[in-house]
Amino acid sequence: MVGTCENIYYAGFEIELDSSYTELDSSSFFGQFPRIGTINFKNKFTVPTEFTITNRAGYDQIMFRFRSNYITFDNLEIRSQSISFTVDNDPIVPVTEADLKIIRLAKDLLSEEMYWNKEDDRNCADDISNKKYSLYCAIRIGSLEVEERYNHRNAALQKLRHLIAEKYPNKVWNHRLMDFNNMEEIQYEDIINILEEIERYFILKLAG
């Protein structure tokens, strides 16, 4: 299966399926994942790309990891002879009860300032052993406990990313969560305040 993209940043997708099809349906297509395909980057480099299935809000969705970015197939339409989709590398994700539980678990892990790791390195093993958690690791650990797997694009992580970007619109981030956690001006109260803001948002969304 070979496809093209209107955005030259992602110049082409190629996914080699296990079987040949005269017609394609959602069951046969989704059954092919996870697998490795390729994306032609800016018509210059062919990059091996991992395509997998994520469940962001109770339904299956294709996600692919391109270099360090996790990107979803949104507005996916599967026809007998073709598929089409839009690419969203920073989606707004529907809220589930699991996301609320994740935020509350993160708050529990960070219940006192002594439990906050101010120097995040995105490696959570030492956070667990030291019982000092960065913002990212607190949510990652909460995600694993609630969902028994890590979903890089669950609503808890996405809402956190969006709030950080809203609060610091002119900031250039390498890793938003890590960089926010490690900013010199960020205090423990800022970490708790943003978790509480997300918690209130989730409660309203679930109620509505």
pLDDT at 185: 94
Considering the chain, what percentage of its residues have pLDDT values greater than 90?
45
181 class by beta-carbon count within 10 Å (0-12 exposed, 13-18 middle, 19+ buried): buried
Query: Tens of pLDDT along 122-142?
Result: 999 999 999 999 999 999 999
- Separation of alpha carbons 100 and 55, rounded Å: 16
pLDDT at 14: 79
- Separation of alpha carbons 154 and 94, rounded Å: 8
- Separation of alpha carbons 44 and 158, rounded Å: 31
- Separation of alpha carbons 120 and 168, rounded Å: 19
The sign one gets for the Cα dihedral 35, 16, 13, 32 is negative
Q: Which helix (H) or strand (E) holds 95?
A: none
Considering the chain, what percentage of its residues have pLDDT values greater than 70?
96
Average pLDDT score over residue span 80-92: 78
The highest-confidence range among 11-20, 60-69, 166-175, by mean pLDDT, is 166-175
What pLDDT band is residue 208 in, cutting at 50, 70 and 90? confident
The sign one gets for the Cα dihedral 43, 45, 50, 55 is negative
C-alpha distances (whole Å) from 135 to each of 22, 32, 66, 170, 178 are 49, 35, 24, 21, 8
Residue 25's closest CA among 77, 92, 103, 98? 77
**Helix-helix angle 97-109:188-207, to 10 degrees:** 160
- Separation of alpha carbons 179 and 94, rounded Å: 25
pLDDT at 180: 96
Helix, strand, or coil (residue 137): helix
Q: What is the largest CA-CA distance in the chain?
A: 61
Cα-only R_g, the chain: 19
